[in-house]
Structure 1
Amino acid sequence: MYKASTSMALAVAAAAGFTTITAGQAQAQEACSTYTVVRGDTLSGIASAADVRGGFRVLFDANTNVLDSPNLLEVGQVLTIPCADGSLPTGAAPVVAASTAPAPVTSAPARPLRIATASDYAPFTDENLPGGGMITRMVDRSMQLGNADQEYDIIFINDWGSHLETLLPTGAVDMAFPWFRPDCSRVENLGPASAYRCTEFNHSDPFYEIIVDFYTLNGSAYANAQSTNDLFGARICRPEAWFVFDLEAAQLVEPNITYVTTVAQNGCFQLLKDGEVDIVTYDALPAEEDIRSAGMEDAVATLEPLRGTVSSHIFVSKNNAFANEALPIINAGLEQLRLSGEWFNIVRESIQETVEN
């Protein structure tokens, strides 16, 4: 079931076999087919040559069974090129390869699950989007597929900060999404806020690999940056309450950089426009929409060599026994969603809606 409430107090690497694009390459791709990666290819170049609607993001999403990152292509990899309508070619491999589907979880539910998300994160979650957005639709279908007998409510609590700070720890809600998990095997290298995501919460399997880009003004001192070290000395903006563990891993922390945050997501681009920051970095999909909304398409450069990915999960408090017992429902349903191809259809439809609007 799906229910909405009102607001409440709320990663191209240069290594053996990995290459960068050169002029004249990536010209033989066709939509609704497969393509074998050759030396010099990049995902952006392949997507552009094949006229993939939604660009490299859609091409990456169609090949997550092959690709670990949108920046890492290996010579000889066979990629599936989506059709003109965004669907996959007939007979294409499912997004996640497996021989059998998982058995649904059938344990008797004790009570309805309370699952929280929030708005203003298009195309991933927003009350005004069809089905509540891309990841909301995935969560909804995963619950249905994982255990049809488990009742649940998906509620929008639009104070993002309250999700991890109070709502999950106190048991006011059982699960919250979409939240990003650091590398919890190296929690000692994380700052306190990032480490908190590892020490206090358990996590579902990943729902989506979020592509994180870095942006600057055309002609700026950072426009030709090839590594994160080239950003040392910059003023970097990322919206408030967003993760910073990827910046920590790249040593993009004080005093190497000046970190600037703002309440409004699109406020970073206003600061960039006004010359108050040098770099803006957050999720590529909403960031590109914010660039369009600000009329800055011709002014902003994307620093593709710095592109990265992080994974989006459902979080549950380690102290909530009921939520932890129910987490396998989500994981079982999510695997069925991927095996059936429905996962990619949700992604395709959501990105197309964003591009069209």
Structure 2
Amino acid sequence: MTGVTGGGAAALAIMLATATGLVLGASQPAQAQDLCSRYTIVRGDTLSQVARIAGVEGGFQVLFNANTDILRSPNLVEIGQVITIPCADGSLPGAAVAAPAVAPPPPVTATRPLRVITASGYAPFTDKDLPGGGMFTQLVLRAFALGNPDQEVNFFFVNDWNAQLDNLLPSGAVDMAFPWFKPDCDRVEILSPPNAYRCTDFNHSDPFYDALVGYYTLAGSPYDGATDHADLLGARICRPDAWFTFDMEAEGLTEPQVTMVRVTQLECWRQLDAGDVDIVTYDALPAEDDARTLGMAERVVSLDALTATATLHVFVAKSNAEANAALPALNAGLEQLRLTGEWFSIVRAGIQAAIEN
């Protein structure tokens, strides 16, 4: 738990030097932590420490992104886990395309171009002014190209996030929209209707990205030092009005146990600064960028123990037959991105650009 800018320029890379990390098991001898290698976790390790010692550009977030296949949480590493440390050029050691045991069926090509949309204002993931439309946009379009190069895609920005799920996808005006967070659809019964809707009315691609969801308060506040979501009961919590709340519902952070405030992202921070809310919480990349934009970063602490992950997907309406038929090819392209290491290279470049800007 330190100030958001505790890592200097790395602050935007989601608590690069502050991840607490919980290590399970018995102590083992320490190993060298070098770029372009595998490293076995020992007692006392955290991702931020490994990233710092190995000299990983982009730090904790980049190291986590390189190991989402084995790490369940950004704050939990276990003794004996073997993680991949990226190379200096951003590639992954030993990345290669694995030959499939069985040839996949030929991809289904829609009878018309697929209409695929996103929106601006979610840097570094999607924004019209970012290179390639943002790193998530690059991942999706590249996955289409790899999964089914014969599929024509018409891609464009529609800067009304709510309209994407409320109107455009259900009506068939568009076929696919991204990036959207997916709840745990195996527990749809615990979700409120606005969140359950993401499960009942839509199908989803495989996860393209594991985003970190952060919780923040002012240094010295009564909640500075919180280590469990239960520590926030009674707090005034600001989750921006365009953001999901299913993760908070799962932790019991709902009315009347807490006071929920739903305003814009920047207004959340202004209300925290004015003492009108106690906690700000949403996706850590834009959250920490917003805090820095408002000049609050030095006075804000991240509640690292509460940091969680939420997966970002491409959504399609269940009623859209052609879009659903195209999902397997998109997922196949995403798998190729991961097998070759291209996924990691795109993500690393996107995060690094965000840090530098």
**TM-score w.r.t. length of structure 1:** 0.88
Instruction: Tell me the equivalent position of 2:219.
Output: 218
- Distance between the aligned counterparts of 1:225 and 1:132, measured in 2? 37
- Distance between the aligned counterparts of 1:88 and 1:111, measured in 2? 37
Instruction: Tell me the equivalent position of 2:308.
Output: 308
Instruction: Tell me the equivalent position of 2:136.
Output: 135
Instruction: Tell me the equivalent position of 2:297.
Output: 297
Q: 1:232 to 1:340 in 2, by over 3 A?
A: same
Q: CA deviation at 1:50?
A: 2.7
Are 2:55 and 1:51 aligned? yes
Q: CA deviation at 1:35?
A: 2.0
Farther off after superposition, 194-203 or 41-50:
41-50
Aligned partner letter, 1:284 = A
Would you say how many aligned residue pairs link Structure 1 and Structure 2? 337
Q: 1:303 to 1:26 in 2, by over 3 A?
A: farther
Q: 1:87 to 1:291 in 2, by over 3 A?
A: farther
The answer for unaligned runs of 5 or more in structure 2 is 1-18
Instruction: Tell me the equivalent position of 2:327.
Output: 327
Q: How does 1:250-269 map to 2 (within 5 A)?
A: 250-263=251-264, 265-269=265-269
- Distance between the aligned counterparts of 1:187 and 1:237, measured in 2? 24
Q: Is the partner of 2:84 in helix, strand or coil?
A: strand
Aligned partner letter, 2:324 = N
Are 2:236 and 1:235 aligned? yes
Give the conservation status (yes or no) of the 8 Å contact 2:21–2:46.
no
Instruction: Tell me the equivalent position of 1:170.
Output: 171
- Distance between the aligned counterparts of 2:356 and 2:21, measured in 1? 32
Instruction: Tell me the equivalent position of 1:17.
Output: 25
Cα RMSD (Å): 2.3
Instruction: Tell me the equivalent position of 2:67.
Output: 63
Q: Is the partner of 2:282 in helix, strand or coil?
A: strand
Give the conservation status (yes or no) of the 8 Å contact 1:104–1:147.
no
Q: Is the partner of 2:297 in helix, strand or coil?
A: coil
- Distance between the aligned counterparts of 1:169 and 1:73, measured in 2? 40
Are 2:30 and 1:29 aligned? no
Q: 1:12 to 1:248 in 2, by over 3 A?
A: farther
Q: CA deviation at 1:158?
A: 0.4
Give the conservation status (yes or no) of the 8 Å contact 1:35–1:80.
yes
Q: 1:18 to 1:200 in 2, by over 3 A?
A: farther
Instruction: Tell me the equivalent position of 2:347.
Output: 347
Give the conservation status (yes or no) of the 8 Å contact 1:12–1:18.
no
Farther off after superposition, 322-331 or 225-234:
322-331
Percentage identity across paired residues of the two chains: 61
Give the conservation status (yes or no) of the 8 Å contact 1:26–1:46.
no
Q: Is the partner of 1:73 in helix, strand or coil?
A: coil
Partner deviation per Cα, 1:213-253 (whole Å, 9 max, x = no partner): 11111111111101000001111111112110000000010
Q: 1:64 to 1:176 in 2, by over 3 A?
A: same
- Distance between the aligned counterparts of 2:23 and 2:90, measured in 1? 32
- Distance between the aligned counterparts of 2:249 and 2:104, measured in 1? 39
The answer for unaligned runs of 5 or more in structure 1 is 1-10, 20-24
Q: 1:340 to 1:278 in 2, by over 3 A?
A: same
- Distance between the aligned counterparts of 2:240 and 2:326, measured in 1? 32
Instruction: Tell me the equivalent position of 1:276.
Output: 276
- Distance between the aligned counterparts of 1:140 and 1:272, measured in 2? 38
- Distance between the aligned counterparts of 2:163 and 2:26, measured in 1? 42
Farther off after superposition, 143-152 or 123-132:
143-152
Q: 1:27 to 1:229 in 2, by over 3 A?
A: farther
Q: CA deviation at 1:15?
A: 8.0
Q: CA deviation at 1:13?
A: 7.4
Aligned partner letter, 2:147 = G
Partner deviation per Cα, 1:308-332 (whole Å, 9 max, x = no partner): 0011111111111111111112111
Partner deviation per Cα, 1:92-130 (whole Å, 9 max, x = no partner): x56xx9652874743343000001100000000000000
Partner deviation per Cα, 1:184-239 (whole Å, 9 max, x = no partner): 11111111111100000011110000111111111111111010000011111111
Aligned partner letter, 1:48 = R
Give the conservation status (yes or no) of the 8 Å contact 1:117–1:155.
yes
Q: Is the partner of 1:179 in helix, strand or coil?
A: strand
Q: CA deviation at 1:134?
A: 0.9
